Amino acid sequence: MPTRVLAGLTALLIVALPFLPGVPPFWLTLLTYAGLSAIVVTGLVVLTGVAGITSFGQAMFVGISAYATALLTTQGGLSPWLSLPVALLLSAAAAWVIGAITLRLSGHYLPLGTIAWNISFFYVLGNTDALGRYDGLTGLPPISVLGHPILGGAEALLLTWGFLALSLWLTHRLLRSRTGRAIRALKGGVVAAESFGVDTARVKIVAFVYAAMLAALSGWLYAHIQRAINPTPFGINAGIEYLLMAVIGGAGSIGGGVFGAVLVTVLKDQLQNVLPLIFGAQGNFEAIVFGILLVLMLQRAPDGLWPLIVRRSVAAPPDRGPAGQPLAPRPAAAPGTVLLEAANLRKTFGGLVAVNDIGFTVAAGEVVALIGPNGAGKSTTFNLVTGVARLTAGAVRLTGRDVAGLPARRIARLGCARTFQHVKLVAGMSVIENVALGAHLRGSAGPVRGALGLDAAEEAALFAEADRQLARVGLSACRDLPAGSLALGQQRIVEIARALCLGPQLLLLDEPAAGLRHQEKQALGDLLRRLRQEGLGILLVEHDMDFVMGLADRLVVMNFGAKLCEGAPAAVRRDPAVVEAYLGSAA
Amino acid sequence: MDATILLLLLQDGVVNGAIYALIALSLVLVFTVTRVILIPQGEFVAYGALTLASLEAGTLPGTVPLLLGLGALAFLADCAETRPTMSGRVLLRLALRDLALPIVVAAIAWFLAPMKPGLVVEILLTLAIVTPMGGFLHAVAFRPLAHASVLVLLIASVGVHLALTGLGLVFFGAEGSRTPPLSEASFPAGPLLVSGQSLWMIGLTLAIIVALWLFFSRTLLGKALIATAVNRLGARLMGIAPSLAGRLSFSVAAFIGALSGVLIAPLTTVYYDTGFLIGLKGFVAAIIGGLASYPAAAAAAILVGIIESVASFEASAFKEVIVFMAIIPVLLWRSLRSAPIEDEE
Amino acid sequence: MTVPMLEAENLSVAYGKVEAVRGVSLRVEPGRLVTVLGANGAGKTTLLNALMGVLPARGRIRFEGRDVARLPVEARVAQGLSLIPERRELFSTMSVEDNLKLGAFRFRNTGSKGGDLEEMYRLFPRLAERRRQHAGTLSGGERQMLAMARALMGRPRLLMLDEPSLGLAPLIVAEVMRTVARLRDEGVAILLVEQNARAALQIADHGYVLDGGSVVLQGDSRTLQGDARVVETYLGTLAVDEAPPSRAASGR
């Protein structure tokens, strides 16, 4: 069933439910709780399913908001509507601080940290007099809509699911926007995302803060529907349950999150009725079932149940809408202008000298090839130039500016785009969106503009540019296919289109011909010749001599980390040292 | 706070820290070998303490049926895993390990428990009941996820923790237990009175550390474990199966966990869910050591123990908060000196 | 007809939707040295990893007549298959001697013995000098020697080598190639992946050329050596007319 129809039916059902005869009021309450959880889980979908980072501590952000609004409305006498922004901002600030501390570290520190912090949060709530200790706070005012107080039952259900619908809509927009593409790009590898200018650490924080704000929205609603709060629903077990909902439903899609939230909420209620009868005692027995369920899901259906219900489809790229004007092409540098200047590059790993005193230049309108046998240090040199590896000594100048020590995303800003030896596209994302990622630096819309849909003009321009570059490399026909479904040769070309979207003066290609068949290599050669004619400077690292012989203006030959010789292809071909290095005087 | 109180707190901290050190060591071992962040380590601690307590009381511990059940599940999982190389001999080996061993242990426990055979036998029995659970859990929950990311393994680990805590409630009930100390003796040392119990704790911790060191440096099996931690593919190419390494490291973790439980049971009342907090403090230490270094983790554990004992004196209600907040400066420091952007795995 | 040591039929390996190896069939007879050649990205390393079980593959793999296609890496090692991967995968923080001892791990529970440490030290005297040093501190050539010695400790019946000449100076490449040839003479079947096509073809009995993941050419190594197309089209090295084959031979 298409997602859109399903969403419509669900909405209809929720709206109609209170008016159906014979629906027990308890169901309405249960579905209200499911909706509250679904708002939190939607944030987890963005965090876990899309950005690939996890938090066990979302209950803490729910709690921060709930306690904040409780204090502001009971002690401060504020209307809930006025305390909402404060509650949102407080949770966002907490998430920002936590994210800033842990998100630069490898993936498991954030979830571990959130466990510790959520437990601490629980103890703080339970031991602070001003927060009512374990008894909590009571007497919260209800939320009033148009002067009418929402006091539970059908009204609370509709209010909750209304906010859920709003959250889903915002999330949907956010994920399609420029920032959303950057979040989704994390799946294609951090190095790739950085190379076209995405500040991946910042993007992760954005995702984390967004998830915390959805949790805060849920906490605010919960506090004013329940009208009394205590620490229990904000403990670590609640945090784990939110993650369980995401995993069971399927963290890869928004629908999966909602489905998981409803399923787990209903299941928990049923288990709480049944299990104490089985075990003959009261207790938190549903944890056993949830724990086993969690492990089983990860083993048997790591994508969750949702994809088994809805036909799995790649998120469709934005509708074409009004065709935008492509971005104004950046002026090409005058032919012969030196774009890249590498001098005395040196890189050592421990005692091993991987790159030893390498120097070369690349000018506008020329193709320079860095060649040599496997293990000669070509890739390391390439990484030094692109800011992926740090120089031990030497200097790299891009259009006259010293870029040694700059991260890859800053180098991208200087008009330098690259491709990868092992293709790094986001496999599940459409070709056109992958290409549009390359234009990241040429847009400026942030998450707020994206979520609110105020970025239409810019988006149209970025996609027009992506379409133009895709046409330039001759792959327009593949526009809407998932990138992972293309043949390797086509994926390499898509990477070039993505690089061109940056509007570069200098193009760096890492073994573009590797794994290509003979004819594909010829097509690639033709494309690179055209780009050279248009004034681009191109540096390519290549192992295949035949490929570069007919293409490059100059060759730089490396062996054992050092430069063997440099010159025009014909001269290099006759150089005895090169012949020896390639054919091996060995055996 | 005067000097005597400080000394007392330090002593307390070191004794508690010794337990955290044991837990931190097993966490580092399991993580480096299997990439699993073993949240359920705390449950082994609780199971150890509660099993000993029910043997003390002369009843059959609830962990015995759990052991039998886990063994049966592990047998099924092992059969599925070894299907391509299945033979009569393999089946026999699996049946001995997964079915016969738990049954023998259960039979001994059933026979001895009502006789109250004395502390030493009860401790040995406790270790025999809890230790095999480690390997069984690995086979049932984690081996099928061998190719999953650290993140997925962590989520599964939390799932196992949930299930084991719930089962702890089923088998042991909501009441806590406490056991008599290993030794009633005490020795004056300056202004302090050092209890025999704390000497036991520190002594056994050191003994375990020495035993682990001998195992890793002197035996081929121990070296195989390190090899798996250093280079998983390299180890597989030498014929060291990740499942063997995983089972072994989980068993070591369960053994250390159970022993830690035996050691703390006389000091504090242990409930079915007490293990989680104890395990997490081991984690704080392991994280300070970067989840990689044994000496750093052990040293950090002592520090955690001291922070905890000082915190519980100064602000007892917030002692957990203070201990967990101790990781913030560490994370901050690691974050600031973290390597430039790299792709993981 | 003898049973081949290793026989792969219609082997395919895919990364996602991209097929890196497509329908490759090859065989290695007992005591023979077979080489697989091809440009970067042609699928050579993927092929070896699939044969070893490091990567999942479709198709049939038989080792000494037994179907091993569904066995995990360790079970293939137990049968006498061994791979020295491109990155060597040494235990870098462990001593040279511990690395070697672990090479014989597969004999831990069996009556038979693995390779002999002293024999390895005789074969690779440099390793004897460095027996207490961490493997991570070795030079490129020494690492390759350690990788070979470690594999030999497992007494493999078929040894697969992935680019043993990678990053080595010509003199050391020659030594490595001589060692490989000697192993063959001692009866170990060898499957050698090399980018240094000439060096490989000189010691090999038979060769396969991969392009775009499939076998495009195979034959007796002498025939392949003489086949100008091999070098020109698929190996991506210098054109033959500028560098006559005799030159490499004279370089000995």
pLDDT (tens digit per residue) in A217-268: 999 999 999 999 999 999 998 999 999 999 988 888 888 899 999 999 999 9
CA distance C115 to C107: 10
Helix-helix angle A456-472:A488-501, to 10 degrees: 130
Model confidence pLDDT, tens digit, residues A362-385: 999 999 999 877 677 888 888 888
Q: What is the pLDDT of residue A35?
A: 95
User: From first to last of its 252 residues, what are the pLDDT tens digits of chain C?
Assistant: 578 899 999 999 988 777 889 999 999 999 999 999 887 778 889 999 999 999 999 999 999 999 999 899 999 999 999 999 988 899 999 999 999 999 999 998 777 777 789 989 998 888 999 999 999 888 778 888 899 999 999 999 999 999 888 777 777 788 888 889 988 998 899 999 987 777 888 899 999 998 888 998 899 988 888 776 665 555 544 433 333 333 333 333
| DSSP bridge pairs for B187 | B194
Beta-carbon separation of A487 and C211 below 8 A = no
Mean residue pLDDT across chain A = 86
How many domains, in total, are found in chain B?
Answer: 1
Model confidence pLDDT, tens digit, residues B277-332: 899 899 888 888 777 788 888 888 999 999 998 888 887 788 888 888 887 787 77
pLDDT of residue B217 exceeding 70? yes
B103 touches chain C (CB under 8 A): no
User: Measured between beta carbons, which residues in chain A are less than 8 angstroms from residue B162?
Assistant: 237, 240, 287-288, 290-291, 294
pLDDT of residue A585 exceeding 50? no
Nearest CA in chain C to A521: C212
Q: What is the pLDDT of residue A223?
A: 95
Q: What is the pLDDT of residue A582?
A: 64
A115 touches chain B (CB under 8 A): yes
Mean residue pLDDT across chain B = 89
Higher pLDDT: B86 or C170? It is: B86
Residue B65 in domain:
yes
For chain C, what is the radius of gyration of the CA atoms?
A: 18
Residue B342 in domain:
no
CA distance A196 to A441: 7
pLDDT of residue B19 exceeding 70? yes
pLDDT of residue B342 exceeding 60? no
CB-based burial, C133-172: b 16+ in 10 Å, e otherwise = ebbeebebbbbbbbbbbbbbbbbbbbbbbbbbbbbbebeb
C150 touches chain B (CB under 8 A): yes
Residue B328 in domain:
yes
User: Under 8 Å CB-to-CB from C64, ≥6 apart: which residues?
Assistant: C3, C5, C79, C80, C157
Beta-carbon separation of C101 and B84 below 8 A = no
Residue B101 in domain:
yes
Beta-carbon separation of C238 and A574 below 8 A = no
- State the nearest Cα–Cα gap between B314 and chain A, in angstroms: 14
pLDDT of residue A495 exceeding 80? yes
Local structure of A564: helix, strand or coil: strand
User: Measured between beta carbons, which residues in chain B are less than 8 angstroms from residue C81?
Assistant: none
Q: What is the pLDDT of residue B27?
A: 92
pLDDT of residue A317 exceeding 60? no
Q: What is the pLDDT of residue C246?
A: 36
Q: What is the pLDDT of residue B68?
A: 95
Residue B340 in domain:
no
Tally A–C CB contacts below 8 A.
112
* Residue reference for tokens 């070296």: B223
Please count the CA atoms within 13 angstroms of the CA of A156 that sit on its side-chain side: 25
- Joined tokens for residue B65: 């049926």
Beta-carbon separation of B145 and A104 below 8 A = no
Q: What is the pLDDT of residue A319?
A: 53
Average pLDDT over residues B118-126: 93
CA distance C7 to A469: 46
Mutating which of A118, A241, A299, A421 best tests the B interface, going by the most B Cβ atoms within 10 A?
A299
* Residue reference for tokens 């995993």: A247
Q: What is the pLDDT of residue C127?
A: 92
User: Measured between beta carbons, which residues in chain C are less than 8 angstroms from residue A350?
Assistant: 136-137
CA distance A207 to A201: 10
pLDDT of residue B52 exceeding 80? yes
Residue B344 in domain:
no
User: Measured between beta carbons, which residues in chain A are less than 8 angstroms from residue C211?
Assistant: 517-518
User: Under 8 Å CB-to-CB from A273, ≥6 apart: which residues?
Assistant: none
Average pLDDT over residues A120-128: 91
Q: Which amino acid is at C250?
A: S
Average pLDDT over residues A393-411: 87
Distances (CA, A) of C158 to A360, B257, C4, C155: 45, 44, 11, 9
Domain that holds residue B235: 3-334
Residue B132 in domain:
yes
Q: What is the pLDDT of residue C231?
A: 59
CA distance B286 to B20: 9
Residue B16 in domain:
yes
Long-range CB contact pairs, B330-335, < 8 A, 24+: B330/B287, B330/B288, B331/A101, B331/A102, B331/A105, B331/A109, B331/A113, B331/B287, B332/A101, B334/A105, B334/A109, B334/B290, B335/A101, B335/A102, B335/A104, B335/A105
